Structures are given as structure tokens and as C-alpha cells.
Amino acid sequence: MHTFASLQGLWTPDTRVVAAVSGGSDSVALLLILRALAQEGHLRLAGVAHLHHHIRGRSADDDCAFVQALADRLALPCDVAHADVPALARQAGQSLEVAGRNARLDFYRHAMDRLGAHSLALAHTRGDQAETVLLRLARGAGPRGLGGMAPRSGHRIRPLLELGRQELRQWLVARGETWREDATNNDVAVVRNRIRHHVLPQLAFVNPRVEEALARAARIHAADADVLDELAGAEVERLVAPDRGRVTIDAVRLHLLPEALARRVVLRALEAIEPSRAYGWEDTDAVLRLSVGAQLDVGRVRVELNGGFVVLTSRAPSFPAEDTADREGPVLGLDVPGHVRHPAGWWVIEAAGPMPRAVAAPSSPNQVVLDAAALGRHLTIRGWRTGDRVQPLGLGGRKKLQDVFVDRKVPRDERGLVPVVLDAQGRIAWVAGHVVGEPFRVTPSSASVVVLTLRR
């Protein structure tokens, strides 16, 4: 596992990792392997995180007690929280699976903060990856979807992706370790369980090593998708132009592109106008098939082919300048050091450091040097929200982010694409390309610094 983690850059000897442990064999093995690696100096194990979902009654209580006892035996702090997932599902009109996932993601963020961790390790295995690929294949996913789960997703890492569930169980048995069995994993009414218990065994008649084959296919698709996204980014720079509330695409050049790139260009244009909606193959196909003089609506985006240009405009209700709380786009995690890319490819933010204070001054507004101790190692990147306030460098008080945009003459339709960098306490450290937060400035007492760079 450590070789895989090293190749993927999942940790350094100074990385504080918290293990998400349900009590099942995969997560118990994850915890014990991480502990062994920490003892060898490869990482620092910050503790254990366990969420009680309140779905399986007494059995879930016993899972929680098992995890706490395991953490106590290993002399590790254990962060336990409770979430009434059935109630959350009813309130939001969601399935238990979706509500549970959302509850876990929220818990993970808080557990990392409470345990002072840089990363949270999840126990997804090669089998989980194979199931994910088959699920997405059945839904008609493209290369990015068929790339499966990434070894790293923001602050979440998956060190076990190249290991099988059976070999992990054999490893535990050889060491006299036990685990908890979750009876719901045998419920074939759940689609993923049906794939695990019925589809994969049938595919094993075709290829006995089907899990490895599907995991390998995922790596190939993910690598291909990275290259295609990079090529598409260059085409976006050439063909796509935002223009005060609308986006235009050079239609002639668009249709000369290979289909894989053309679809990605259209996708990014749609996301630039209305980032809150997920777009699919049918949406990009409809845009690419649009005839001269025709128009169509893709969600809340109006698309027209006019004068050699595909013109996209928003059909969303007209919001006051400050009322954009639900339109900020994705919320992403960023480790220091590390980098994060906007899902649509509009920008990349890189974090270098911590490093000695004697570094070169920023070369442009798209690069800043901040105090490492004030900033911390656990950052969040998102768009601006209603009520956001920042204390700009050199200013005594705080200022509405909306007023910052007005003062700096940032067009209203471009504000949603400005990354806002926050520390673990939710304080705005940098409005990328615009202002630095006063609490993060470098002073003579700063021992080390972090360099943040925005690339578009």
C-alpha cells in the first residue's frame, strides 16, 4: 500500500491522517496498516473517525462500541458523531444512500478539524472500484466517470484502491484481528450490492481476475480524461469568450474539433453560465447538433446558433448582486502542499510550502505569500456567498466581498468564477487574484510561509 500511496502522493512523513472506520474488515485493515506505516515514520496517524448513522439499531450501536474499543486498544483518539440518516433522508426527499453520504462528508470535515488532520483515509478497495466502474458504465458514463474513484479527492484519500477485500481479510485473520459484519451489505435491493453478489461473479467466468481488469480500466480512463481535459482547456481559451452575462463559442472552429474536445468545450461553456446544474451527454449533443437560427434550453441556459457563434445566456431569475448564495459552484479541499482544479477546468490553485520566510515576492496578482501558521494545512476553495466578508490587507475593518468586486470592477457574470480560499476556521485568506486577508499577512515573526498560485 505504501508504494501505491507514494506514487499517488497521498502523504508525506508530516501528513496527519485520520482513518474513517466503520468496523468492517476493509476499514479495520486500513486503520491497522496506517498505524504500522505511522510507526515506520511514513505518516502521522491523527486518530479514528466513526459516524453512527442510526439505521441498523442495536447492531449499529455495537459497531460504534467496537470501533471505540479498537481505537482505545491502539491508544488513538476516536471522534464519534451521530446522524439520524433516516430523518435526514425524509426531510430532504433523498434515498438513505444519498443522505448517508452527505452526512458522512459533513462529519469528515468536522472530524478532520477536531483531530487536526490534513487528510482523511477511506477504505475503498479494488472491489469497490470495480463496482463503481460497472455502475457508471451501465449509466453511460464517459472517460471521466469510467475513471472510477480517484486515489485523492480533495482531502479524502483512498490508499487501498489496489488491494482486494479478500486479501485484506486474510491479512487480518493472520494477525488474529476481528471485524464487524454489516448485514445490509447482503441486501441485493441495493444496486451496488447486486453488482457485488451477482454481476461480478458472473463476469468472473469471463475473466477470473475481473476486479483487477476493471480497476486497470479505471486507471486508463482517468489518465485519458486528464489529457483530454487539458487539451480542452486550451481550446476553451481559443474559442470561448464570456461577455457580460453571456458566453459565446466560435461555432466554425468548434465543429472542426474532434468530438471528445468539442463536447468538453460545450460543457465548460454551460458550466460557466449555470454551474449549479450537472450536464450530461444529451445536453452537449443537443448543443452540437443545433442548426443555424435555432435555439434550445438546456436547464436554465438558453442556447442559440447565431452569426457563426453559439451564444449561451442564462434563463435563471435575475438576482440582486448580493443574492448569489446558491450559485457559488463546487466546494473543494486543498492540502498544503498540493493543488486543486475546478471540476470544469476554469482554474487551478497550487499551494507550495510551508517554506522559509525568505522567498521571492509575488510576481503577479495571481500569486500570494501567506503566513503558514495562520493559514494552516487544511484549506477550502469555493465561490463567494451571501454575507461573505473579508478583512483586506492593510484595512482596519472587514468588508463585504460584494463591495470588493464592485470596487475592483469585476463584472457580475464573472464573480462566480473567482475562487475564494478559506482556512479551517472558515476565514477568507485570499480572494484569488484580488485581495489577501489581513490575518494571513507575512510579518517579521512569521517562521514559514505558503505560496498560493492561481492559474487559469
Could you give the residue ranges of the DSSP H alpha helices within 323-362? Answer: none
Would you give the distance in Å from CA 233 to the centre of its chain?
Answer: 19
Helix (H) or strand (E) holding 233: helix 210-239
Helices (H) and strands (E) in the chain, counts: 16, 22
pLDDT tens column, 408-444: 888 776 787 899 999 887 889 999 989 999 889 888 8
Place of cell 457580475: 412
Phi-psi group of 116: left, alpha or beta (phi > 0 → left; psi -120 to 50 → alpha; rest → beta): left
End-to-end CA distance of the chain: 34
Could you give the residue ranges of the DSSP H alpha helices within 139-209? Answer: 143-146, 165-174, 191-194, 200-203
* DSSP for residue 437: B
Distance, CA of 4 to CA of 17 (rounded, Å): 16
Distance, CA of 444 to CA of 438 (rounded, Å): 15
The grid cell for 345 is 477546468
| Whole-angstrom Cα Rg for the chain | 24
The grid cell for 255 is 465543429
Distance, CA of 415 to CA of 31 (rounded, Å): 42
2-218: what fold? Answer: Rossmann fold (3.40.50)
As beta bridge partners, residue 355 has: 449
Of 47-56, 213-222, 364-373, 410-419, give the lowest mean pLDDT range.
410-419
| Boundaries of every domain in the chain | 2-218, 247-314, 332-455
Backbone φ and ψ of 349, nearest 5°:
-115, 130
332-455: what fold? Answer: Phenylalanyl-tRNA Synthetase; Chain B, domain 3 (3.50.40)
* Alpha-carbon distance values, 133 to 126, 128, 193, 337, 344 (Å): 11, 9, 14, 30, 21
Contact between 103 and 51 (Cβ < 8 Å): yes
Contact between 204 and 130 (Cβ < 8 Å): no
Contact between 331 and 382 (Cβ < 8 Å): yes
pLDDT tens column, 68-112: 999 999 999 999 999 988 888 888 777 788 888 888 888 988 898
Task: Write down the mean pLDDT value for the chain.
Answer: 87
pLDDT for 170 equals 96
pLDDT for 24 equals 95
The grid cell for 129 is 472500484
Sheet (strand 367-371) strand order: 338-341, 348-356, 448-455, 367-371
pLDDT for 341 equals 83
Backbone φ and ψ of 130, nearest 5°:
-60, -40
b/e code 369-399 from CB counts within 10 Å (16+ = b)? bbbbebbbbbbbbebbebebebbbeeeeeee
Distance, CA of 231 to CA of 238 (rounded, Å): 11
Q: Is 193 helix (H, G, I), strand (E, B) or coil?
A: helix
pLDDT tens column, 22-42: 999 999 999 999 999 999 999
Q: How confident is the model at residue 360 (pLDDT cuts 50, 70, 90)?
A: low
